[in-house]
Amino acid sequence: MRAARLIKMVLLLQSRPVMTAAELAQELEVSERTVTRDAQALSEAGVPVYADRGRAGGYRLVGGYRTRLTGLARSEAEALFLSGVPGALREMGLEDAASAARLKVSAALLPSLRDAPDSAAQRFHLDAPAWFREPETPAPLPVLAEAVWADRRVRALYRRGETTVERELEPYGLVLKAGVWYLCARVAGADAGAGAFRTYRLDRFGAVEVLAECFDRDSGFDLPVYWAGQAERFARSILRAEVVVRLSPEGVRRLRHAVDPPAARAALGAGGEPDGEGWVTVTVPVESEEVAHAQLTALGAEAEVLAPATLRERFAADAARLAARYGRGGA
């Protein structure tokens, strides 16, 4: 336990010019007194940890000291080589840089861990594109990736429906979702705040020009959090209608596989108590009556549509046709 903490302390000090005892204590989840003892232990072991006194003081490594990656366990080394998405790196023009980084990490590993890259690659593979779709790399992707890394503004043509508009954007991040690339950006000059950020599909961009002007990145912007919120809002935005359904216990279990996950969560979260037969009545948000008919058909006899009346009539007609067909005795 202590050995792992000492290694983490050295890596923290390698990544920052100086850290106070309080900062190290918070990162390592120990007391400041423990930080002092750990620093002394590292110094006695030959690691040049130096403590500056005073208000602006803290701990630092002197002499350009760097440690080799000898503290990695096998599981950690293998996980390291799972962190990239090779296809995405290639499309952004970063394949060579990623390859060089992997070689440097591999060279720094202990001999017993040198097979970690092959071990991970032969056990896990991420195939990002969706099924039945030829993956296409949007032409502006490498240019936008360069702008994202450099915090540079871009001027771009963007297709919205039948019209094309020109926008000057501050590109914050790129997202690959089911084989489709998206840019999360803020319109240059827009007021700060979550509402100022927008999402753009890269395949709708025309010409993109990277400008010389850099922008001050909002330190409060969190790309994973932003994207999760956008995805949830999009899923909810298409659920414009409601269907009242009575579900058997089996129907309750299968609902989450039949309808959109946000719809299932909303329906089951607000559902009432089971009736005398164990069935539950829920209100399911749906995209349309047509979509609801297709989705709820998968539940078969485990669901009874109560409203709207037009949808209930469609299921009644389906049931009558099925009864007539199967009542023929196989003729």
Q: How far apart are the C-alpha atoms of 198 and 236, rounded to whole Å?
A: 17
Residue 12 has a pLDDT of 84
Helix (H) or strand (E) holding 77: helix 74-80
Q: Are the C-beta atoms of residues 208 and 168 closer than 8 Å to each other? A: no
**Per mean pLDDT, which range of 191-200, 217-226, 314-323 is the poorest?**
191-200
Residue 84 has a pLDDT of 60
Q: How far apart are the C-alpha atoms of 101 and 183, rounded to whole Å?
A: 25
Q: Where are the alpha helices (DSSP H) in 213-279?
A: 223-237, 249-258, 261-269
User: Is 223 in a helix, a strand, or coil?
Assistant: helix
pLDDT reading at 318 higher than 80: yes
Contacting residues for 186 by C-beta, under 8 A, at least 6 apart: 169, 170, 172, 196, 197, 198, 218
Is the pTM higher than 0.75? The answer reads no
Residue 137 has a pLDDT of 81
Residue 294 has a pLDDT of 92
Pick the closest to residue 296 from 129, 70, 108, 283 (CA basis).
283
Pick the closest to residue 292 from 308, 270, 280 (CA basis).
308
Pick the closest to residue 28 from 7, 45, 43, 56 (CA basis).
7
The model's confidence at residue 330, banded by pLDDT at 50, 70 and 90, is: low
The mean pLDDT of 229-233, rounded to a whole number, is: 83
Phi, psi of 132 (to 5 degrees): 60, 35
Q: Are the C-beta atoms of residues 263 and 247 closer than 8 Å to each other? A: no
Helix axes 21-28, 32-44, angle to 10 degrees: 100
Q: How far apart are the C-alpha atoms of 59 and 10, rounded to whole Å?
A: 10
287: which strand partners? none
The mean pLDDT of 262-291, rounded to a whole number, is: 90
